[in-house]
């Protein structure tokens, strides 16, 4: 079980429109006990609503601010790059670590993500075993080993 410095369970927001990928991330994190609470949304508008407590996500106790965000780029409604730009452009959320987790290895997507201050850019492996290992390592790094400003 992972907790922050004050004993609060670690919260992860997964922004992923592919249900199979989302399920693999959740199962891997649960299996390795990397994150205590995983919240999942399947489009960019829901991600923004969740992060900024708007629309159906106004209840901050039910939808707490995440300690880390895993963000896909190719999302319905609002593109992942726009979600990233808004997160990093807002004073209240800019320090939240955002890890781009996508199938795109396009140079322009990588460059734009870092231009918008992504904390990391990871291309999803197509092999299930490699994907699961990546999730384990990614989870431990961002939610257990890395020292974040919210600790």
Domains, in order of start, for the chain: 11-145 (3.40.50.2300)
Angle between helix 44-51 and 80-89 (nearest 10): 20
Instruction: Kindly report the pTM of this predicted structure.
Output: 0.85
Burial (CB count <10 Å: 0-12, 13-18, 19+), residue 129: exposed
- The tens digit of pLDDT for each residue in 58-108 reads 999 999 999 889 999 999 999 999 999 999 999 999 999 999 999 899 999
Q: How far, in Å, CA of 71 to CA of 135, rounded?
A: 13
Sign of the CA dihedral running 112, 37, 23, 19: negative
Phi, psi at residue 107, to the nearest 5°? -55, -40
Category of 40 on φ-ψ map: left (φ > 0), alpha (ψ -120 to 50) or beta: beta
- The tens digit of pLDDT for each residue in 2-57 reads 444 445 677 889 999 999 889 888 887 777 666 568 899 999 999 999 999 999 99
């Amino acid at each position: 079980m992972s907790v922050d410095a004050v004993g609060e369970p670690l919260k992860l927001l997964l922004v992923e429109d592919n249900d199979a990928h989302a399920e693999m991330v959740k199962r891997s994190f649960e299996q390795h006990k990397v994150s205590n609470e995983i919240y999942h949304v399947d489009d960019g508008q829901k991600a923004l609503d969740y992060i900024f407590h708007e629309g159906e996500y106004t209840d901050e106790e039910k939808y707490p601010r995440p300690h880390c965000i895993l963000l896909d780029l190719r999302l319905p409604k609002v593109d992942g790059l726009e979600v990233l730009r808004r997160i990093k452009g807002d004073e209240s959320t800019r320090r939240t670590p955002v890890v781009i987790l996508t199938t795109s290895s396009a140079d322009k997507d990588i460059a734009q993500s870092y231009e918008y201050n992504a904390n990391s850019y990871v291309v999803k492996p197509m092999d299930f075993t490699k994907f699961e290992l990546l999730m384990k390592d990614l989870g431990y790094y961002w939610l257990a080993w890395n020292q974040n400003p919210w600790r």
